[in-house]
Structure 1
Amino acid sequence: MKTTRRCLALAALLVAGPTHAASNAQLMARLERLAAELDQVKAELKTVKAQAVATQPGPATATVAARPAVAPSGPVATPAQVAVLAPPPPLPAAAEPAPHTAPLASRSGQTSLFGYGEINYNRPFRDQSQTQFDVRRAIVGIAHQASERTRIVGEFEFEHAVTSADDAGEVAVEQLYVEHRATDNVGLKGGLFLIPLGFLNLNHEPTAYYGVERNFVETAIIPSTWREVGLSAFGVSDAGLRWDVGITSGFDLNKWDGASTEGRDSPLGAIHQEGQMAKGKDPAVYGALSWRGTPGLDVGAGVFTGKAAHGSKVAGSAGNVAPDARVTLWDAHARWTPGKWNLSALYARGTISDTDRINTLYLGQTYVPKSFFGWYTQAAYALWQGGEYALSPFVRYEVFNTAAGFATMPAGLGVDADRDEKVVTAGANLRVGENVVLKADVQRFQLARERDRLNLGIGYQF
């Protein structure tokens, strides 16, 4: 009966819609509500089917909710991505939720499984002895609908196949939070969760982006996958404006290792706390906005800022030489999907203040940069689709610099800024059904020519 009433409500909404002089944004909001409702009806039907199967003789099975599909043309909105507008029982997702955000449960007490993974092959053109296969990552998530308005989500990541003291692998908790819906359009979240900056940090399943490897701007500048411990509030308006604000843990400048090149690869990746006994004397704050008032268009921006010394002394110093050091990172991004095209662009810039005295500790080593930035443009085209297969070639051009500037130091001790690296990536994604993708691309570097390579990959999500 509940499903029937929802179907009737959907029909009524479809009929009533044209009688109102609604703006494009209002129409988009209605369509999103309808998509979320339809997704809910499908989830309930699957639950009924699973219950019917469970009543037959045989071993007991757990009900597992299906993950929402990603459109064959590439990383566009899915039912889960518009679920923030759905009425009870599903909860609103974050302002720009990732496809791997926990599947929507159809009723209280239901537990769902989800996950994704990727296996990659990289073959450098110059030094082919560095060719390698890698089980890059495998992720398993669990979501439990604790009540009509509250759910619990845990996500666990395994990288590089083997983890031990002598191996490169890693096991980490990628997300662990409790989410509660305060109203139909507003939600609250507490725990370890992803920060909503850029596209990739929230949408990083291999089926959700183009290319075998994640782009450099959203890994070297925005340290994806980037998560913090804290509290957030998020929601969406009828005009299609999504918002997300929070107070969280931040970066720890005391983790900087001048003897390592990690900071040159990704300044914020080197001082990211990842929820591991994170110092919290100086919490950080963030805010993000995204507008989808026009079908096919997604425009957004976000900023994250917080002090990074936490009252502790910097390693190797006799005291706190950077009491006012502050990390600030912001981005602006846009995606447009007219017809078969998928066009996107992103710019990100970060700064670390009060670094002059810190760098006197690292003479001749890796200095802490004052500024770093990156941007990219990308175009993909849904070239062909037949049966369960869909082919989308793409090209991406990105520019980034992880050491674009340094604070002034005493004469003779300064260091010059790095040159901008420029990378062209061209390839294609071949979708096999809804949740499997085969990838191939070639990458060319302007400065680090030794990194030119061929990449192949297999990715999945469920």
Structure 2
Amino acid sequence: MRTSLRILFFISLLFMLMFDFSFAQSEEKKIKQIEERIKRLELEVLKIKDINEQREQMVREIEALKEEIRQLRLEVAMPEIELKSYFGLGPAASKIYYTPRGLSIAGYGEITYENYIDNSKTDRGDVLRFVPYIGYKFTDNIIVNTELEIEHAGIGNVGNRNPEIYVEFLYVDFILHPRFNIRTGLFLIPTSRMNEFHEPPVYFGVLRPDVERFIIPTVWRELGVMVYGEFTKGFSYKAGIVNGLRTDLIGDWIAGGRQRGATINFDKFAGSFGVVFEVVKNLTLASSLYYGAGSDKAGASERGSEDARFSLLTTEGGVQLKNLSIKGLFAYGSAKGNDVYKSRSGRASKVYGWYLEAGYNLIPLINPETVISFAPFVRYEKYNLNKNVFTGNLDPTKDRSVFTIGLDFKPHPQVVIKADYQIRNTASNLPAGKGAGKDEWKIDQFNIGIGFIF
């Protein structure tokens, strides 16, 4: 009996040990299974992470390919010229700076038609300008850049056949350092950005703004020496000393006194300083100051008796918000002179002008990848060519406003077709019209133009 109990005890103990061993084995197997699942999950997590990184990389590559496609479109459209500005010059005028070596030929042209909404003034068509640029790069540091301007098909007037061919600029650039370079010769004065950046595809409107034609007399060039460069990236300057103005050719304001490098009166000097701030993306701010003297008579002639001082301050800003372009400018000018200069009636002692414009390119809403542009625009200008005068009465016909609404179509980045309507007004009480007892500057007009650069 005792033996049977012992055998039963050992069998029970063995069964328990076997059960414990089997249970332990089962638990170990489960742990291994869980560990394997954890490893598989970790691998899945790593795969997901890799997929996300790959997705981000693919997005970057897609954006790079889009930019490459855009550049290729531009290269197909513009095999010879990249639309870049060198220190404020127009794209075509800047071509020589991006030419590897030797000769560079570029240019622009524009043809206009002006339909006056009054029978007293004859409508006008004009080969307004053809401008070839010829540049030569001797080395990366010595560059000659020239512009020859042929206005009104080369003939100022069909009747007397006055020639209208000018050397717009002719200078030598010594490129020394991003912060300091030297330009000497006949060059464009940095009085406003448009004075240097004025090729047809780069601004709205068939005609340049009145403020940029009469208050700021674009295109304004003189003979002298200028230094230019960048204080920091996106913050550039220009400072020059040039000849003064010729006062006997000045009417109300300084446009007639520009000497343009032709047998100039060089006994008076002027200084010009301009800065452009483009540090913030898509925002451009600029300001300039011109201050100089003037006297009458041409160079090498008998000395005259007039003496005067002139100043012109400009400030402007522009912003590009995707397809929307906005620009504004303000200019203020003043003059002082001796009694001989002040004795001529109508000469202004103070002038001012401003404008605000906006345009929106509609094409990217339809096709974001194309280089074609179609932009409606509006502009309002206000300016006064005799805010104050030295002698005589104020002329209200010179206190003017212009509202322009138009379209700017570029089938190619270097070709533009423009159309606009201008509503003109002045402070005078005279009726609109050309002739005695009428105000020509109240005549509205419809304009069409085509322009190009190459």
TM-score above 0.5: yes
Match of 2:209 in 1: 215
1:168 offset after TM fit, Å? 5.2
1:231 offset after TM fit, Å? 0.5
- Quote the Cα distance in structure 2 between the aligned partners of 1:378 and 1:417: 27
1:401 pairs, out of 369, 379, 384, with 384
Residues 1:135 and 2:118 are matched in the alignment: no
Match of 2:350 in 1: 371
Q: Residues 103, 434 of structure 1: CA spacing in aligned structure 2 closer, same or farther, 3 A cutoff?
A: same
5 Å-filtered alignment, 1:115-126, equals 115-126=107-118
5 Å-filtered alignment, 1:258-273, equals 263-264=251-252, 267-273=253-259
1:237 offset after TM fit, Å? 2.9
Match of 2:95 in 1: 103
Residues 1:283 and 2:277 are matched in the alignment: no
- Contact between 1:158 and 1:172, CA under 8 Å: does it hold in 2? yes
Q: Deviations over 1:67-108 (max 9, x none)?
A: 323xxxxxxxxxx32xxxxxxxxxxx43x3332323145666
Residues 1:66 and 2:58 are matched in the alignment: no
1:369 offset after TM fit, Å? 1.1
- Quote the Cα distance in structure 1 between the aligned partners of 2:274 and 2:200: 24
- Quote the Cα distance in structure 2 between the aligned partners of 1:381 and 1:128: 35
- Contact between 1:355 and 1:368, CA under 8 Å: does it hold in 2? no
Match of 1:60 in 2: none
- Quote the Cα distance in structure 2 between the aligned partners of 1:170 and 1:311: 22
Match of 2:234 in 1: 240
- Quote the Cα distance in structure 1 between the aligned partners of 2:125 and 2:395: 34
1:354 offset after TM fit, Å? 1.7
Structural RMSD (CA): 2.7
5 Å-filtered alignment, 1:320-335, equals 321-323=305-307, 325-335=308-318
Report which structure shows greater RCO (CA 8 Å, sep ≥6).
1
Gaps of 5+ in 1: 1-37, 47-63, 70-79, 82-92, 257-262
1:440 pairs, out of 415, 419, 430, with 419
The letter of the residue matching 1:172 is Y
Whose helix proportion is higher, 1 or 2? 2
The letter of the residue matching 2:172 is V
Task: Indicate the structure (1 or 2) with the bigger Cα radius of gyration.
Answer: 2
The count of corresponding residues between Structure 1 and Structure 2 is 360
- Quote the Cα distance in structure 2 between the aligned partners of 1:312 and 1:110: 37
Residues 1:227 and 2:208 are matched in the alignment: no
- Contact between 2:116 and 2:446, CA under 8 Å: does it hold in 1? yes
Whose strand proportion is higher, 1 or 2? 2
- Contact between 1:65 and 1:113, CA under 8 Å: does it hold in 2? no
Q: Residues 431, 151 of structure 1: CA spacing in aligned structure 2 closer, same or farther, 3 A cutoff?
A: same
- Contact between 1:107 and 1:148, CA under 8 Å: does it hold in 2? no
Q: Deviations over 1:395-427 (max 9, x none)?
A: 0000011111112x5xxxx32354621110000
Match of 2:336 in 1: 353
The letter of the residue matching 1:186 is F
Match of 1:195 in 2: 189
Match of 1:416 in 2: 394
1:241 offset after TM fit, Å? 1.1
The letter of the residue matching 1:343 is I
2:161 pairs, out of 121, 145, 167, with 167
Q: Residues 119, 234 of structure 1: CA spacing in aligned structure 2 closer, same or farther, 3 A cutoff?
A: same
Please state whether the residue corresponding to 2:347 is helix, strand or coil: coil
Gaps of 5+ in 2: 1-67, 427-438
1:453 offset after TM fit, Å? 0.5
Please state whether the residue corresponding to 1:393 is helix, strand or coil: strand
- Contact between 1:102 and 1:141, CA under 8 Å: does it hold in 2? no
2:290 pairs, out of 304, 307, 316, with 304
Residues 1:427 and 2:406 are matched in the alignment: yes
Q: Residues 311, 425 of structure 1: CA spacing in aligned structure 2 closer, same or farther, 3 A cutoff?
A: closer
1:278 offset after TM fit, Å? 1.1
Q: Residues 162, 176 of structure 1: CA spacing in aligned structure 2 closer, same or farther, 3 A cutoff?
A: closer
The two structures have a TM-score, normalised by structure 2, of 0.73
